[in-house]
C-alpha cells in the first residue's frame, strides 16, 4: 500500500518499537533515552510503540477473529504511517524476544520499502546477536536495515539513576550517527514510494 502523501518537506515519521515485554525489563530506560535523542534530532515526529502495552494475539491467522482484528487494527495504521522504524531489543538466549517476532510477523505491507535501525542492550554482547538475527527477518519483509547500530553492553551498568548514559557523549554520538542514516534512507524511500508505489 502507498501511505506517502506527505511532501518531502514534512517531518519524517519514526516509529520506535520497544520489543521486550518481560516483567522487570530494562527496555524502558533505553527507550526513554533514545526517544529523546530522536526528538532532538530535529526532523522527525516520533511514535513510541511499546509492545508491553500492545495486545497482539499470539496465534497467527489469515482470518483473525474480531478481537484479534481489533488489536491488529489499532497497530497497523501506526506502522503504515511510519517512514522509518527503530527497534529497541534485548537479547534473550542469543536472539530477540518472541513478542517482537509476533509483532513483525502479523504485518507485511506496513514494513515494506522503509528503513529500520536497531538499539540493542544486554550482557557482554550488548544485544548484538539479537540484531544479527533481526536483519534477515526484516530483509525478507523488503526493508532496508541501516549499517550503524547503538548497543549497550551490560546495560544496567551504563545508565545513572536518572536514565542517562554514563558515557553520554559516546551514546549520543552513536544515536546521532544512526539517526542520520535513518533520516537519509527514510527521505529517499518516501520520495521513491510517492513517485512509484512499491510492489513485491
How many domains does the chain divide into?
1
The answer to whether 120 and 130 have CB atoms below 8 angstroms apart is yes
The answer to whether position 180 is within a domain reads yes
Distance CA 143, CA 172 (A): 25
**In this structure, is residue 182 part of a structural domain?**
yes
CATH number at residue 186: 3.40.50.360
Residue 138 lies inside a defined structural domain of this protein: yes
Q: What percent of the chain has pLDDT over 90?
A: 82
Q: Is there a domain that residue 45 lies in?
A: yes
- Least confident range of 26-30, 42-46, 133-137, 182-186: 42-46
198 vs 17, more confident: 17
Task: Tell me the pLDDT band of 3, cut-offs 50, 70 and 90.
Answer: very low
Residue 87, domain member (yes or no)? yes
The enclosing H or E element of 153 equals strand 150-153
Contacts of 45 (CB under 8 A, 6+ apart): 11, 12, 13, 14
Q: Give the residue from 127, 155, 137, 134 showing the smallest Cα distance to 30.
A: 155
Confidence of residue 117 (pLDDT cuts 50, 70, 90): very high
What residues make up the domain containing 116? 12-18+28-52+74-195
**159 Cβ partners below 8 Å, 6+ apart?**
29, 30, 33, 152, 165, 166
Tell me the pLDDT tens digit for each residue of 129-185.
999 999 999 999 999 999 999 999 999 999 999 999 999 999 999 999 999 999 999
Element (H, E) at 104: helix 98-105
Establish if 167 belongs to a structural domain.
yes
Q: With respect to residue 187, please indicate whether it lies within any of the assigned structural domains.
A: yes
Distance CA 59, CA 92 (A): 21
47-73 pLDDT, tens digit each: 999 999 998 888 888 888 888 888 899
Is residue 86 within 8 A of residue 118, CB to CB? The reply is yes
User: Using 50, 70 and 90 to split pLDDT, how confident is the model at 5?
Assistant: very low
Among 154, 163, 134, 121, smallest CA distance to 22 is for: 121
Write down the pLDDT at residue 42: 86
- Spatial neighbors of 160 by CB under 8 A, at least 6 apart, are 166
Is the predicted pLDDT of residue 2 greater than 60, yes or no?
A: no
60, part of any domain: no
Mean pLDDT of the chain: 93
Amino acid at each position: 500500500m502507498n501511505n506517502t502523501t506527505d511532501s518531502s518537506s514534512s517531518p519524517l515519521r519514526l516509529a520506535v518499537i520497544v520489543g521486550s515485554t518481560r516483567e522487570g525489563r530494562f527496555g524502558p530506560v533505553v527507550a526513554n533515552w533514545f526517544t529523546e535523542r530522536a526528538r532532538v534530532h530535529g526532523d522527525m515526529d516520533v511514535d513510541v510503540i511499546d509492545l508491553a502495552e500492545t495486545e497482539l494475539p499470539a496465534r497467527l491467522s489469515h482470518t483473525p477473529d474480531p478481537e484479534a482484528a481489533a488489536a491488529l487494527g489499532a497497530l497497523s495504521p501506526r506502522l503504515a504511517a511510519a517512514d522509518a522504524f527503530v527497534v529497541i531489543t534485548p537479547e534473550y538466549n542469543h536472539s530477540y524476544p518472541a513478542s517482537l517476532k509476533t509483532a513483525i510477523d502479523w504485518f507485511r505491507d506496513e514494513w515494506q520499502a522503509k528503513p529500520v535501525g536497531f538499539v540493542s542492550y544486554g550482557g557482554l554482547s550488548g544485544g548484538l546477536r539479537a540484531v544479527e538475527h533481526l536483519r534477515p527477518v526484516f530483509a525478507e519483509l523488503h526493508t532496508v536495515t541501516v549499517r550503524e547500530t547503538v548497543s549497550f553492553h551490560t546495560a544496567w551498568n551504563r545508565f545513572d539513576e536518572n536514565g542517562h548514559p554514563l558515557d553520554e557523549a559516546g551514546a549520543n554520538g552513536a544515536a546521532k550517527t544512526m539517526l542520520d542514516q535513518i533520516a537519509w534512507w527514510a527521505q529517499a524511500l518516501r520520495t521513491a514510494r510517492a513517485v512509484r508505489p512499491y510492489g513485491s
